[in-house]
């Protein structure tokens, strides 16, 4: 299905052509002066130089050719050469009918269905999720859902930090605390216990303790490095202990991610790439790309077009240890060979841009990916408190993500309880949890990913303004009207949209018409904030129409049914949008 603006632009192009000018000058945009017109075309300004003619003369010529247009009810030329346009109510209505009947409201499937891997840049195991993990989870989940809606095959990988020194630190501290465990007995040949010798709470306390000790005690750090080497070399006991660490951590992570309604198809980590590193290193050496520099193995990635310094990518340190770049490159090999990826999208803090530029360039130069493979890095800004600094607890520490979710849910429960005395506590808490998730996700996603933003609980949980709860309140309002319509003994099936009766109704209809173009744009640009901006405008358009129209009191049955059809479509589009953003709406609130 063609996009609404494409159809209008085609009609405008015919007007230019009929007047003796190039059809491509007829590109139409939404008016930036809605008080004057609905759409505008600036083609006459662009054509003035080519045709050696005043823009207003060209605009007048074109406007004259559009007097009998099937699309425009008004096309007027205004100085110095703009074309102000209004679209016929009948044209808007017919487009919406086609959109309502189309699959996915007219969003076309991709010309080529891609296999896309979304790397959420996951957390380190043995550590609790904190607020710093929120953005990668929320943005990554939405990007995954947007691409799936478009029709691509999308694989989400949490990509855990489960390898390296942190593992050695945990094992060293466990050995100091419980030296009697069989994992540390080199003569032990039996089966290791199936149950982990620690809880997730103990594990979360062990790591920071071990990390602190290693900074103060060189011998302790040396022991941790030795434990890391033994683990990575395949020590049987250490590997069994490591599997316990992973199992306990992942079980806890799944619970926390579930509270965010975030799901992964793969629970892979850096450890999965480790067996591929020797082959990768040999490949880089044999191709002549990798060379030794100050004892380390590096690959030059500088390009002539670089405007700032671009250091070589370090593949192996002087002691032979691999780095994040090595692991990421080995993971690319895995994703190309086993998942046959066409596109790799990485979520990470925007301060890691240099790392990804280096990794992507090595991958391209070494032929780890095809020339057509898309490598995309979505760098996100920080989530800050009201003081403009990274979000902290009142005590100044990094806040655990589960505590942030709990605080939001409690605030929403307080608001729901105050406004709805007819709800049981159980139902009020259930509704509060749904609204709370919208507050968190919309609060994050409504900002462009690369920008820092202020996490303001008071604003994000408000039922007014550009917030998740406001969007949900709008959906629930529509649900309520549709339910009351059915209570009157009328059906929501086989409803027919009618031409707009007033300005606010037409504005709502026009807003709906731009859904498929917006969704395509959000997908192409990996930009969930565009969906947020769209549904905020759509919710505003609906609420203006609602306040000006007595829908359920309307006696003209045909007119009323047309309005109900419009409400039903608005609800379905809003629900589709919030689903790809990663949250849902309750039936009442």
How much is the average pLDDT of 406-429? 94
Model confidence at 347: pLDDT above 80 = yes
Final residue belonging to a domain, choices 226, 259, 292: 259
pTM: 0.94
pLDDT of residue 389: 86
Rounded Cα distance between 320 and 295, Å, is: 9
The DSSP secondary structure of 146-176, one letter per residue, reads: HHHHHT-EEEEE--BB-SSHHHHHHHHHHHH
Query: How far out from the chain centre does Cα 282 lie?
Result: 37
- Helix 200-216 to helix 236-259 angle (10° resolution) is 120
| Residue 287 covered by a domain | no
| Residue 198 covered by a domain | yes
Each residue's pLDDT tens digit, 444-491: 999 999 999 999 999 999 999 999 999 999 999 999 999 999 999 999
Binned at pLDDT 50, 70 and 90, residue 321 comes out as: confident
Phi, psi of 195 (to 5 degrees): -90, 140
How much is the average pLDDT of 72-99? 97
pLDDT of residue 122: 85
| Residue 37 covered by a domain | yes
Strands 290-293 and 153-157: unpaired
Residues in contact with 398: Cβ distance below 8 Å, sequence separation at least 6, in sequence order:
130, 131, 132, 392
- State the CATH number of the domain containing residue 22: 3.30.1360.70
pLDDT of residue 388: 87
Model confidence at 397: pLDDT above 80 = no
Final residue belonging to a domain, choices 259, 287, 314: 259
Both tokens of 190, joined, read 């039996």
Binned at pLDDT 50, 70 and 90, residue 319 comes out as: confident
Model confidence at 513: pLDDT above 90 = yes
Model confidence at 370: pLDDT above 80 = yes
| Residue 179 covered by a domain | yes
Rounded Cα distance between 381 and 351, Å, is: 8
Range of the domain at 79: 4-87
C-alpha pair distances (Å), 384 with each of 132, 306, 349: 10, 32, 13
Number of domains forming the structure of the chain:
2
Final residue belonging to a domain, choices 54, 87, 120: 87
| Residue 530 covered by a domain | no
Rounded Cα distance between 78 and 81, Å, is: 6
| Residue 571 covered by a domain | no
pLDDT of residue 358: 98
pLDDT of residue 398: 81
When computed from its CA atoms, the radius of gyration of the chain, rounded to whole angstroms, is 29
| Residue 113 covered by a domain | no
Binned at pLDDT 50, 70 and 90, residue 532 comes out as: very high
Phi, psi of 323 (to 5 degrees): -120, 180
Q: What percent of the chain has pLDDT over 70?
A: 99
Residues in contact with 338: Cβ distance below 8 Å, sequence separation at least 6, in sequence order:
none
In the three-class reduction of DSSP (H, G, I as helix; E, B as strand; rest coil), residue 425 is classed as helix
| Residue 267 covered by a domain | no
**Which pairs from 253-259 meet CB under 8 Å and 24+ separation?**
253/123, 253/125, 253/129, 253/158, 253/160, 256/128, 256/129, 256/401, 256/402, 257/129, 257/137, 257/158, 259/402, 259/405
């Amino acid at each position: 299905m063609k996009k609404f603006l494409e159809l209008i632009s085609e009609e405008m192009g015919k007007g230019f052509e009929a007047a003796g000018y190039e059809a491509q000058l007829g590109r139409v945009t939404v008016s930036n002066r809605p008080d004057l017109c609905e759409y505008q075309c600036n083609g006459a300004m662009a054509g003035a130089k080519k045709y050696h003619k005043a823009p207003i003369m060209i605009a007048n010529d074109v406007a004259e050719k559009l007097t009998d247009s099937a699309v425009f009810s008004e096309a007027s030329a205004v100085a110095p050469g703009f074309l102000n346009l209004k679209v016929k109510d009948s044209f808007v209505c017919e487009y919406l009918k086609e959109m309502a009947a189309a699959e996915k409201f007219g969003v076309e499937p991709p010309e080529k269905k891609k296999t896309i891997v979304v790397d959420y840049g996951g957390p380190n195991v043995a550590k609790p999720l904190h607020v710093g993990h929120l953005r990668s989870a929320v943005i990554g989940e939405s990007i995954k859902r947007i691409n799936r809606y478009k029709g691509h095959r999308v694989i989400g990988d949490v990509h855990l930090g489960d390898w390296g020194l942190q593992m050695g630190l945990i094992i060293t501290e466990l050995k100091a605390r419980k030296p009697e465990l069989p994992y540390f007995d080199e003569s032990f040949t039996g089966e290791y216990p199936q149950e982990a010798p620690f809880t997730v709470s103990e594990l979360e306390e062990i790591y920071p303790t071990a990390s602190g000790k290693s900074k103060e005690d060189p011998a302790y750090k040396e022991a941790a490095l030795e434990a890391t080497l033994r683990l990575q070399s395949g020590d049987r006991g250490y590997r069994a202990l490591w599997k316990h660490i992973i199992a306990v951590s992942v079980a806890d992570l799944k619970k926390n991610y579930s509270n965010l309604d975030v799901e992964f198809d793969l629970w892979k980590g850096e450890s999965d790439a480790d067996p591929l590193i020797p082959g990768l290193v040999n490949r880089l050496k044999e191709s002549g790309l990798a060379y030794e520099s100050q004892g380390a193995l590096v690959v030059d990635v500088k390009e002539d077009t670089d405007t700032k310094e671009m250091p070589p990518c370090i593949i192996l340190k002087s002691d032979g240890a691999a780095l994040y770049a090595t692991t990421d490159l080995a993971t690319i090999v895995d994703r190309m060979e086993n998942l046959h990826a066409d596109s790799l999208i990485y979520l990470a803090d925007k301060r890691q841009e240099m790392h990804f530029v280096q990794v992507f360039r090595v991958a391209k130069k070494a032929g780890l990916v095809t020339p057509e493979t898309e490598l995309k890095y979505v760098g996100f800004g920080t989530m800050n408190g009201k003081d403009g600094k990274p979000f902290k607890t009142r005590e100044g520490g990094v806040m655990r993500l589960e505590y942030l979710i709990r605080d939001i849910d409690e605030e929403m429960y307080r608001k729901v309880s105050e406004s709805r005395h007819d709800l049981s506590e159980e139902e009020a808490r259930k509704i509060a949890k749904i609204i709370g998730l919208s507050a968190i996700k919309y609060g994050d996603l409504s900002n462009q990913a690369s920008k820092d933003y202020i996490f303001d609980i008071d604003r994000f949980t408000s039922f007014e303004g550009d917030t998740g709860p406001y969007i949900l309140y709008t959906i629930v309002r529509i649900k309520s009207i549709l339910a009351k319509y059915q209570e009157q003994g009328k059906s929501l099936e086989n409803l027919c949209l009618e031409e707009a009766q007033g300005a606010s109704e037409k504005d709502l209809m026009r807003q709906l018409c731009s859904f498929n173009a917006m969704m395509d744009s959000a997908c192409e640009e990996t930009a969930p904030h565009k969906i947020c901006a769209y549904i905020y405008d759509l919710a505003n358009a609906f609420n203006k129409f609602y306040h000006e129209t007595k829908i359920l009191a309307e006696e003209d049955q045909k007119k009323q049914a047309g309005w109900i059809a419009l409400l039903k479509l608005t609800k379905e589009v809003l629900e589709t949008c919030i689903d790809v953003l990663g949250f849902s709406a309750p039936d009442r609130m």
